[in-house]
Amino acid sequence: EVQLVESGGGLVKPGGSLRLSCTASGFIFTDNYIHWVRQAPGKGLEWVGHIKTKTAGGTTDYTAPVKGRFTILRDDSKNTVYLQMNSLRIDDTAIYYCTTFASGWWDWGQGTLVTVSS
Amino acid sequence: EIVMTQSPATLSVSPGERATLSCRASQSASNKLAWYQQKPGQAPRLLIYGASTRATGIPARFSGSGSGTEFTLTISSLQSEDFAIYYCQQYNNWPYTFGQGTKLEIK
């Protein structure tokens, strides 16, 4: 059974940085892309970005609002993907979820809350 | 970017009745379409993927149909636990995109 566990959320000031983690189990981590999705309070879902497998180049893609500020990294030895968030803005406040299509459908973690406020 | 448009924004239906939710893509999403249910304080729950395949443990009263640009989620006989927000999501082209959601409320 696929399990995804996010951690690292918290309160940060505008302009600050935070690193989220997504630790995975129940599937072959090295063979699968990992994605990040966020949801601002009371709002809909927004795809943040993803990281491909090393076999596929290990490259990343990001949605426009976070490009240049957010970086996704993976550590296959730890079955973990990181979302490094820099230059945080108030509108980055959201629950951040990681998700994967490893099983042939979408599995999601429970999310971690990031609050950007002075 | 594929824009996903859900309609209606809010749907009021009585328990036991059928609910039909629509999702339109601005360009073809093929059959790479998922539906989610979300309740307050919870993560999205996958209902349907591949436009019409029910996820594990999802009751048969939920069904999905469509391909290309027009998709439908049907809930055949609404139960009290079905009142929630529903989102569609295309994963045919990056960036993957979601609809804005349909709130299904009790009439």
Taking only the tens place, the pLDDT of each residue in A80-93 is 999 999 999 999 99
Beta carbons within 8 Å of A8's beta carbon, 6+ residues apart: A18, A19, A20, A21, A112
* HSE-CB of A66 using CA atoms within 13 angstroms: 26
Q: Edge to edge, what strands does the sheet with B4-7 contain? A: B4-7, B19-25, B70-75, B62-67
Min Cα separation A4/chain B (Å): 12
Return the pLDDT at B79: 95
Residues B3-49 pLDDT 10s? 999 999 999 999 999 999 999 999 999 999 999 999 999 999 999 99
Task: Say whether residue A111 is in contact with chain B using an 8 A CB cutoff.
Answer: yes
Give chain B positions within 8 Å (CB) of A104.
Answer: 49
Return the pLDDT at B54: 97
Chain pair A-B, CB pairs under 8 angstroms: 43
Return the pLDDT at A25: 97
Q: Which residues of B touch A (CB under 8 A)?
A: 34, 36, 43-44, 46, 49-50, 53, 55-56, 87, 89, 91, 94-101
Residues B65-103 pLDDT 10s? 999 999 999 999 999 999 999 999 999 998 999 999 999
Tell me which of B54, B89, B94, B100 to substitute to probe the interface with A (most A C-beta atoms closer than 10 Å).
B94
By CA distance, what is B48's nearest residue in A?
Answer: A105
- Do B69 and B75 form a contact (C-beta atoms < 8 A)? no
- Do B29 and B68 form a contact (C-beta atoms < 8 A)? yes
Return the pLDDT at A9: 98
Give chain B positions within 8 Å (CB) of A61.
Answer: 94-95
Return the pLDDT at A87: 98
Return the pLDDT at A48: 97
Beta carbons within 8 Å of A77's beta carbon, 6+ residues apart: none
Give chain A positions within 8 Å (CB) of B89.
Answer: 45, 106
Low-confidence ranges of chain A (pLDDT < 50): none
Beta bridge partners of A100: A107
Min Cα separation B28/chain A (Å): 19
Residues A65-77 pLDDT 10s? 999 999 999 999 9
- Do A22 and A109 form a contact (C-beta atoms < 8 A)? yes
